[in-house]
Chains A and B, each alone.
Chain A
């Protein structure tokens, strides 16, 4: 249960599966090479090109010690960024496993989401005192423009020098505890910001002053509301709404995903190409959607993968006669007073699906082909064992058998070849059969069972447009139904899988997992 503590709270969480050592491959860059100091901390700092590193270079001693508290860092880093104090905003989420203790995310230049996504400071509650926020215990992230990735820093009270903070660069504990998926064979990915409850109503986030919060005001630990530091961080002028943090987080996700997609420019490499395709088949991340209070309104993503909307819009940006494409919002039957709104339903992760959309929008894959993948087991938009097994069985084959030749110059050259290979399934005769029909058709299969045969998949063969209509019928049926039981049962299934797969999964309420 302790992992809830880390993240339930869906803040900037950074996957740390990437080997931290590669941070240090490059001892320095640019003018910084002129003055390598005899201090491991300072030398490590010189490999990082972000505003936190710039601040520490000027203000920390050679052991990484610095006087002050969180506000010292915010002011100093803000100066490096050119972002004044009055641009600061605090975004708050509750950690349900810690007596609903709040975690604050603080940004500068907060009205400029692109700029704000370059840096964030996150409070922690590691010292066991839940009466107030500890101003001397926090993590920070900053975008490294040279390496196109986020660097992570942690500041804590020094044990050796009273009144000083000690700063750790790329802290090891983060690398070990914030992996995105525990599924065996999942490739390492760069730190990826996660805001689990990314969309309205931003369950457990403070949605004020723009929106009414969902569960925040009711659940926040009352004692901490009176804490001096908490009040200081969340005073009216500094309080930010979850709606704005969503925009900032999306900007941060864009940075990481875009950097990842650039690997298709690298020299041809089988593993790199497969890693780019992994998130199309298996879930690297998840997000969690909730009904907007008792309005019945919820993201369509709970029943139809949001990527499908984007993929159809990649084919044609307009003129679709389907609500599931045009609106992206599903209206469930009205909530009776006795029924709680649907809360925390796992959906496909935003960073996962953005890789997919990015490969299509950059011309590495055709939208129609990726739609054909999504058509398989489509009523399981997230956590489809069938799609992930396709990857796993075919990827190991490719790793063993595929031979690079002179026509394979870049990773991007391998992507469509590998995608076609990954879309294969063995038939009863042991032959590999493609699940990509010709003529841009798809094998529309609502649910694929363990023993579903290739022939049964081909029974669902239809045009892309006919598949869109099938999805519309499904969308309409769910909208029209007053029966929420099927959705609730799916929420339980997904909730248990999320708990198993993601250390950063939030508490999915009211579920019991075996």
Chain B
């Protein structure tokens, strides 16, 4: 099953899959790998239980009427062990800065991007910044100045779009022209084609009725939870059960199927997450905050691309940030901003009409059954 999805994704995104989490299980040093499934104790049900607790019992609402959301921060278990696998939530991130001067009044050096994903299979740019004593002094003297940026991008790897703003002056981040090479996502699954395929597969599995449901006689069966049931189903649909994004997208798709939600004349998958075409192109899922799709955390702003896609966000790194986190500024980007830079997937609520048939969960269907709560 996984193989077929990988091949489909290869076809859709034209990326090799040499470093997919599936096939990239290197020998690791402590028994735990760079993604949760590389942990020898990995269990789909346990992972889904963890995600369920975070998503439904915490203080953020992922499932809204008009939007499905999740944050850019990767979940626990996605890390740099063996290789840097961060950026799994349809949102990749890295740090950018110009090499600090060695003396007051000195010149900044070249611009570096730290931990930025390179083409599939080529890893990332260097993660650590080495500082001389003079540079340490410079950063300390400019501890509250903005001297670098965290970049969050949701620009799909298969959205080969020009940047309208570049017809005049290209926007820059720390002196780097915003271009596809630096700012388009690189991981093979971070694309429109992969997202669309996931939705379609989740709907197909749901409609096949061949997925695990709760025992009707046991109200405490965890599979009665819409999210948990969908999370496990995600694996059948060739998604990854540890990701907030895959499991949440699949949960919406499953609920649409269970509740007979359709849109006149259009495949549900195409309504929920259309496959981009030349006529209907879009750059990526818009980034925003938790309050609304256009707000951002303090210290962050949009990089204006001229197309209102809101797919690239830049957040401040101060001299002190750089000094204190030089070995993993990307990690600081995740911990300081990543939980609050939010991927928004618009849901065309008005276009969907639900008519539950007869299935075990038909009685749980509301007018908007994709709004999943505890």
Q: A residues near B, CB below 8 A? A: 110-114, 116-117, 200-201, 207, 209-214, 241, 243-244, 247-248, 250-251, 254-255, 258, 261-262, 292-297, 310, 313-323, 326-329, 331, 334-335, 354, 357-358, 361-363, 469, 472
Question: Which partner residue on chain B sits nearest A354 by CB separation?
Answer: B324
| Minimum distance in angstroms from B146 CB to a CB of chain A | 6
Pick the residue among A315, A328, A331, A362 that contacts B323 (CB under 8 A): A362
Q: Which of B29-37, B172-180, B359-367 contacts A (4 or more CB under 8 A)?
A: B29-37
The answer on a CB contact under 8 Å between B144 and A326 is no
- Contact partner, B143, options A211, A258, A328, A363, Cβ 8 Å: A258
B72-90 interface code vs A (CB 8 A; 1 in, 0 out)? 0000110111101000000
Do A255 and B144 touch (CB < 8 A)? yes
* Inter-chain contact A262/B140, CB cutoff 8 Å: yes
User: Is B327 within 8 A of A211, CB to CB?
Assistant: no
Most chain B CB within 10 A, of A117, A241, A250, A472, is at A241
B127:A211 contact, CB within 8 angstroms = no
The reply to whether B59 and A214 form a contact with Cβ atoms under 8 Å apart is: yes
**Contact A248 B298, beta carbon cutoff 8 Å:** yes
Neighbouring B residues of A261 by C-beta, 8 Å: 140
The answer to whether A295 and B53 touch across the interface, beta carbons within 8 angstroms, is: yes
Residues of chain A lying within 8 A (CB to CB) of residue B143 = 254-255, 258
List the one stretch of B238-246, B266-274, B288-296 in contact with chain A.
B288-296
Asked if residues B127 and A258 are in contact (CB atoms below 8 Å), the reply is no
Shortest CB-to-CB span from B98 to chain A, Å, is: 17
In addition to A292-B57, A310-B325, 12 A-B residue pairs with Cβ atoms within 8 Å of each other are A211-B60, A244-B298, A247-B298, A254-B320, A297-B58, A313-B325, A321-B28, A321-B30, A326-B79, A326-B81, A331-B76, A335-B57
CB closest chain-B residue, reference A111: B298
On whether the beta carbons of B57 and A318 are closer than 8 Å, the reply is no
Provide the residues of chain B in CB contact with A322, threshold 8 Å: 30, 32
Chain A residues within an 8 Å CB radius of B321: 254
Residues on B with beta carbons closer than 8 Å to the beta carbon of A207: 59
Chain A positions within 8 Å of B339 at CB level: 200, 243
Please choose the segment from B100-108, B252-260, B275-283, B328-336 that sits at the chain A interface, where 4 or more of its residues have CB less than 8 A away.
B328-336
* Inter-subunit contact B32/A247 (CB<8 Å): no
Q: Chain A contacts of B146 at CB under 8 A?
A: 114
CA distance A458 to B316 in the complex (A): 45
B264 at the interface (CB under 8 A from A): no
- Residue pair B298, A292 in contact (C-beta under 8 Å): no
Q: Check A211–B318 contact: CB distance below 8 A.
A: no
Q: Is the CB of A292 within 8 A of B58?
A: yes
Given A210-B340, A244-B297, A322-B30: A363 and B136 interface contact (C-beta under 8 Å)? yes
State whether the Cβ of B54 lies closer than 8 Å to any Cβ in chain A: yes
Given the interface pairs A295-B57, A296-B57, A297-B54, the reply to whether A254 lies near B144 with Cβ below 8 Å is yes
Q: Is the CB of B327 within 8 A of A251?
A: no
Q: Which residues of B contact A214 (CB under 8 A)?
A: 59
The answer to whether A254 touches B318 (Cβ under 8 A) is yes
Q: Is the interface of B mostly helix, strand, loop or mixed?
A: loop
**Closest B residue by C-beta to A253:** B320
Rounded to whole Å, the gap between the CB of A328 and the closest CB of chain B is: 7
* 15 pairs, A vs B, C-beta closer than 8 Å: A113-B316, A114-B318, A243-B339, A254-B143, A254-B321, A261-B140, A295-B53, A295-B58, A296-B57, A313-B328, A320-B79, A321-B31, A323-B32, A331-B50, A472-B30
B residues in contact (CB < 8 Å) with A? 28-33, 49-50, 53-54, 57-61, 76-77, 79-82, 84, 127-128, 133, 136, 140, 143-144, 146, 289-292, 295-299, 301, 316, 318, 320-321, 323-328, 331, 335-336, 339-340
Q: Is A116 within 8 A of B298, CB to CB?
A: yes
**Residues in A whose Cβ lies below 8 Å from that of B28:** 321
A213 to B59 Cα, complex, angstroms: 7
B114 and chain A: residue at smallest CB distance: A317
In this complex, what residue of B is CB-closest to A330? B76
Which residues of B have CB within 8 Å of A310? Answer: 324-325
B331 touches A317 (CB 8 A): yes
Q: Taking A320-B81, A331-B53, A469-B30 as contacts, is the C-beta distance between A313 and B340 under 8 angstroms? A: no
Closest-CB distance, A147 to chain B (whole angstroms):
14
Do A327 and B327 touch across chains, with their CB atoms under 8 A apart? no
- In Å, the complex CA distance between A327 and B133 comes to 30
Question: Which residues of the other chain, A, contact B53 by a CB distance below 8 angstroms?
Answer: 294-297, 331, 334
B50, A200: Cβ atoms closer than 8 Å: no
Residues of B within 8 A of A258 (CB): 140, 143-144, 320
- Residues of B near A296 (CB, < 8 A) are 53, 57
The closest CB in chain B to the CB of A239 belongs to: B291
A247–B338 Cα distance when bound, in Å, is: 12
A261 to B136, CA, bound (A): 12
Residue numbers in B under 8 Å from A201 (CB-CB): 58-59
Give the distance in Å from the alpha carbon of A329 to the alpha carbon of B334 in the complex. 13
Whether A323 touches B144, Cβ cut-off 8 Å, given contacts A114-B316, A116-B298, is no
- Chain B's closest residue to A297 (CB) is B54
The reply to whether A210 and B289 contact each other, CB–CB distance below 8 Å, is: yes
Contact A319 B133 (CB under 8 A): no
CA distance A328 to B334 in the complex (A): 11
Picked from A114, A200, A213, A297, the residue with its CB within 8 Å of the CB of B299 is A114
Residues of B within 8 A of A209 (CB): 290-292
Check if B318 sits within 8 Å of A327, measured CB to CB. Answer: no
Nearest chain B residue, comparing its CB with the CB of A244: B298
